[in-house]
Amino acid sequence: PYAVVLIPQFIMVARDFKLANTWVALIVPPLFNSLGVLFMRQSFSMMPDDLFDAARVEGVKEWRIFLFVALPLARPMLAALAIILFLASWNNYLWPLLINSQPGSMTAPVALGTLIGLTKVSWGGIMAGAVMLTVPMLVVFVLLQRHFIAGIAAGAVK
C-alpha cells in the first residue's frame, strides 16, 4: 500500500534531496512505482525470444536490441502505463498535500479540498471543480483510447 512508502518517500524527497515545495517533487516520485515495473516486466517477458535471437545472429548489440526491437513492441504497454500513471497522479491528493505547503502552487485536488471548511462546505464550488477536474482526463483518455486499449489487450492472457 501507498501508506507504507509515503513517509520514507517524503523524508527522502524533502530532507535528503531538499525538493519540498517544488514541481519536481510533485512529478518525479509518482513515476517510479511498482505498477510500472510490473507492467513493463510483463510486457518484456511476453515478447518472443526468437526476435531477440534473430537480432543477435545479425550481430546487433544488446542495447540496440532493446531500443529498436523491444521498445517498439512495448509501445502499446508504455502508452497504457503512461495513461494510468497520469490518471493516478492527476487524482493524487495525499502526496501533493504533504510535499507542497505553499498555497499558490496547490494541485487541483488539493485546491478543491480547501473548499471544505470546518463549519461551511461550498458544495457548488466543489461540484464545479469536480467537473473541471474530470474534463481534462476525459480528453486525454479519448485522444489516447486506441493506445490504452491496445496496451491493456497486449497484457491480457491469450
Per-residue pLDDT of the chain (158 residues; tens, 9 = 90+): 788 889 999 999 999 999 999 999 998 888 888 889 998 999 899 899 999 999 999 999 999 999 999 999 898 888 888 888 888 888 889 999 999 988 888 898 999 998 898 889 989 999 999 999 999 889 988 888 887 787 777 666 55
Q: Which domains does the chain have, with CATH numbers?
A: 2-154 (1.10.3720.10)
pLDDT for residue 101: 87
Q: How many helices (H) and strands (E) does the chain have?
A: 11, 0
pTM: 0.78
Q: Residue 128: what residue type? A: A
Query: What number of CA atoms fall less than 13 Å from residue 33's CA on the CB side?
Result: 19
Query: What number of CA atoms fall less than 13 Å from residue 141's CA on the CB side?
Result: 11
pLDDT for residue 89: 86
pLDDT for residue 45: 92
Long-range contacts at 15-18 (CB < 8 A, ≥ 24 apart): none
pLDDT for residue 152: 74
Bridge partner residues of 116 (DSSP): 121
Q: Burial code of 110-139, b = ≥16 C-beta within 10 A, e = fewer?
A: bebeebeeeeeeeeeeeeebeeebeeeeee
